[in-house]
Amino acid sequence: MSEIAEYIIAALLLVGGFFTLVGAIGLARLPDFFTRLHGPTKATTVGVGAIMLASVLHFSVNHDGIGISEILITVFLFMTAPVSANILAKAAMHIGVKSMDDTRGKPWEQ
Amino acid sequence: MFDRLNFPQPWLSLLLFVIWQFLSDGISGASVVLGLFLAWLIPQITQGFWPQRPAFIHPWRMPMYLTRVLMDIIVASVSVARLILSPRAPRPMFVCYPLELEHPLAISILASTISLTPGTVSADVSDDNKTLLIHALDAQSEQEVIDAIKTRYEKPLLEMFK
Amino acid sequence: MITIALHITLAMVMIAALLNVYRLIRGPDAPDRVLALDTLYINAIALIILLGITLGTRLYLESALLIAVMGFVGTVAMAKYLKRGSVIE
């Protein structure tokens, strides 16, 4: 395997791990439900996407063929992350989860 | 029976067929037959879920839009990561966004885009499909969020959908 | 090179999963727990992919795909249950 590919794969892995970790830190640390929603939808999705990309590169450099499954999983995650965030936000608004004190604007009631 | 042997949504059928070829281990006679069957069956079953046909007028602009969204997702996650790791508290805000798009598919694409891009998550659509409720993680003012979304994402979508 | 990066990444994803479990136990509301579960299954996918790279096999990708599909359906079902009180109406 070439040196450059190895460096790129290692960098992608580290970036992916970092974003996954940051998403989880956001989930654990941010003050209310609606702000917590931001961490997983963006950081974790990007993190897993980077790890998938590293996997695609690794297998296409080492063995034959490129992994379509990884790309399918990534596309699927990118398509479903906003949907689950949206439906969770709706559920939270329906239950009446408290938002942070200095949140400006109000969720509406339907 | 035989009048149902058509493909009500040719693009969806094509997509399903191609994905099935990728999922199965290499292209073989069996995977082509099963892929064709699924590409026929799934649109037939899910036909009731599509109230209106998606009406693209400029579908070739989609790749450009997707590239822009992908770039923004990367920028967005860096900015969200910085905000999560910095000690200062975020300034969250609920924004009511007035929609210009009318087609349900276009609205859901816009909502997904908003959820994946800088500091905003779309929370709800009003019953008359006119307003989108957005939660912004760190916003200066309501107008700023609305303007950013309007110019970056809604304009290209308006050009794509009729 | 890749082995070291793999180990560091594995450690980071493990810590992330632990933080998700913390939020899952802590709550305080039901949507928080569902969100924690949602993030947990995405982390599980990352772990499976990393395991696949470590062992040099692609067999595990199928299970990652299954977890992605089932996890999404599970999240939507739980959110729907929280909102309406029933999953299928």
Whether pLDDT at B52 is above 60: yes
pLDDT digit string, tens, across residues B67-91: 888 888 888 788 888 888 887 777 7
pLDDT digit string, tens, across residues C28-47: 888 888 888 888 989 998 99
Query: Sign of the CA dihedral A35, C49, A60, C3?
Result: positive
Chain A: residue nearest C78 by CA? Answer: A88
pLDDT in the model for residue B1: 44
Interface test with A, best of C4, C53, C63, C80 (most A CBs within 10 A): C53
With an 8 Å Cβ cutoff, are B127 and A110 in contact? yes
- Quote the mean pLDDT of chain B: 78
- Assess contact for B122 and B134: CB atoms under 8 A: yes
For residue B53, name the pLDDT band (cuts at 50, 70, 90).
Answer: low
- Quote the mean pLDDT of chain A: 81
With an 8 Å Cβ cutoff, are A10 and C23 in contact? no
Q: Which among B77, B92, B96 has the least Cβ separation from residue A34?
A: B92
- Count of alpha carbons within 13 angstroms of residue A26, beta-carbon side: 32
Neighbours of C69 (CB within 10 A): 13
Whether the CB of A102 is below 8 Å from some CB of chain B: the reply is yes
For residue C14, name the pLDDT band (cuts at 50, 70, 90).
Answer: very high
For residue C10, name the pLDDT band (cuts at 50, 70, 90).
Answer: very high
pLDDT digit string, tens, across residues A58-104: 888 877 666 677 788 888 888 888 888 888 888 888 877 776 666 66
pLDDT digit string, tens, across residues B98-144: 877 777 777 888 888 888 876 788 877 777 777 888 888 777 777 87
Whether pLDDT at A105 is above 70: no
Q: Which domains does chain B have, with CATH numbers?
A: 2-49 (no CATH), 59-160 (3.30.70)
pLDDT in the model for residue C11: 92
Sequence-ordered list of residues with C-beta below 8 angstroms from that of B67, at least 6 positions apart, any chain: none
pLDDT, mean of residues B56-72: 79
pLDDT, mean of residues A40-68: 81
pLDDT digit string, tens, across residues A1-12: 578 888 888 998
Min Cα separation A40/chain C (Å):
6
Whether pLDDT at B16 is above 80: yes
For residue B158, name the pLDDT band (cuts at 50, 70, 90).
Answer: confident
For residue C15, name the pLDDT band (cuts at 50, 70, 90).
Answer: very high
DSSP chain B: -GGG-S-S-HHHHHHHHHHHHHHSSS--HHHHHHHHHHHHHHHHHHGGG-SS---BS-GGGHHHHHHHHHHHHHHHHHHHHHHHHSSSPP--EEEEEE----SHHHHHHHHHHHHHSTTEEEEEE-TTS-EEEEEESS-S-HHHHHHHHIIIIIHHHHHHB-
pLDDT in the model for residue A64: 60
Q: Higher model confidence: residue A14 or residue A35?
A: A14
What stretches of chain C show up as alpha helix (H) in DSSP? 2-26, 30-55, 61-84
- Count of alpha carbons within 13 angstroms of residue B1, beta-carbon side: 0
Q: Using an 8 Å CB-CB cutoff, list chain A residues near C17.
A: 24
Min Cα separation B81/chain A (Å):
6
With an 8 Å Cβ cutoff, are C13 and A21 in contact? yes
Parse chain A into domains and list their residue ranges: 3-95
Q: Rounded CA gap, C11 and C27, in Å?
A: 24
pLDDT digit string, tens, across residues C46-80: 999 889 888 888 788 888 888 988 999 998 888 88
Interface test with C, best of A15, A34, A48, A98 (most C CBs within 10 A): A48
Residue labelled with tokens 């770039």: B71
Q: Which two tokens stand for residue C54?
A: 């470590």
Whether pLDDT at A37 is above 80: yes
Residue labelled with tokens 């810590």: C15
Using alpha carbons, select from A16, A3, A32 the residue that is nearest to residue A70: A16
